[in-house]
Amino acid sequence: MVRTPSYAGGASRFAKFPSADARVPLSVVIPTLDEAEQIGSAVSQLRWADEVIVVDGGSRDDTVAIAETAGARVLVVTGETIAAQRNAGIAAARNDWVLSLDADERVDATLVSELIRVLSAGQARHSVYRIRFRNVYLGRELRHGPWGHDWHVRLFPRERRYLSCRVHERLESAENVGTLAGTITHRSYRDLTHHVTKIMRYSRWAADDLRSRGRRATLGDITVRPAWRFARDYVVMSGWRDGVPGFIAAATSAFAVFLKYALLLTDARSSRA
């Protein structure tokens, strides 16, 4: 279900932004669910963009009101995946190019300058563009392990769509991928409790995704896979160089793998009982 909530002020909410001529001809799409603590700063930091669309999944806090006050156009899409929320925002975009962000992500000045250059007339030479992420975890930027080598395609034409899945949604495959200068800083977890809480939710969704594709779990999945994940992140990819946060990041990643396959295994056994 998609609806556009009415709000006082209409287009005047964008008065806080610079003049239209000074803004980047770009639509920024942000999916949300109970992001009242950070959506205001997320939207405010995007004053340089021509359009900011927040696609809310049915927040029970003040996410929608705060986003509107900050200057975003808000759509409410309930009962859908994050990928579906993103796609709804992309479909509603008024600009030819879309930047996909989350409420806990911030672009740097170098990236904004690069976006201006690439989106100038005739300068978009690639079909989509990838951007490097700087992941801050437990107060420290992780420069090693998988989080220290984190790239995602986030700039693309509005004709593109995300593939439908519950977790780790990704844009449909594309050739001729360009690379942008600048970075996106990502602070995905407030603390360890917040991280573990999200692991519980996303592991449930990931198990459901695997089951929908006919995947079954074995004892090897809940023993070998988590052990390899930790070894890969901490040893092979040098996560140990990030100190205690690096160790905890590798351990929680291994736990997430264990929980996903444990849920898949126990659910299958319960259904046969």
pLDDT number for residue 125: 86
Provide the pLDDT for residue 13: 35
Give pLDDT, residue 268.
64
Pairing mode, strands 97-100 and 150-157: antiparallel
The CATH architecture that domain 2-186 belongs to is Alpha-Beta Complex (3.90)
Tens-binned pLDDT, residue by residue, of the chain (273 aa): 444 443 333 333 333 333 445 689 999 999 999 999 999 999 999 999 999 999 999 999 999 999 999 999 999 999 888 999 999 999 999 999 999 999 999 999 999 999 999 998 667 789 999 999 999 999 999 999 999 999 999 999 999 999 877 777 889 888 899 999 999 999 989 899 999 999 998 899 889 889 888 899 999 999 999 999 999 999 999 999 999 999 999 999 999 999 999 999 997 666 665
The answer to whether the Cα torsion of 243, 246, 248, 254 is positive or negative is negative
What is the reported pLDDT for 130? 96
pLDDT value at position 269?
63
Give the residue among 162, 56, 51, 163 at the shortest CA–CA distance from 96: 51
CA atoms within 13 A on the CB side of 21: 0
Q: What interhelical angle do 243-272 and 192-212 show, nearest 10?
A: 40
What does pTM read for this prediction? 0.84
Inter-residue contact 34 to 106 (CB < 8 Å)? no
Kindly give the pairing relationship between strand 177-186 and strand 150-157: unpaired
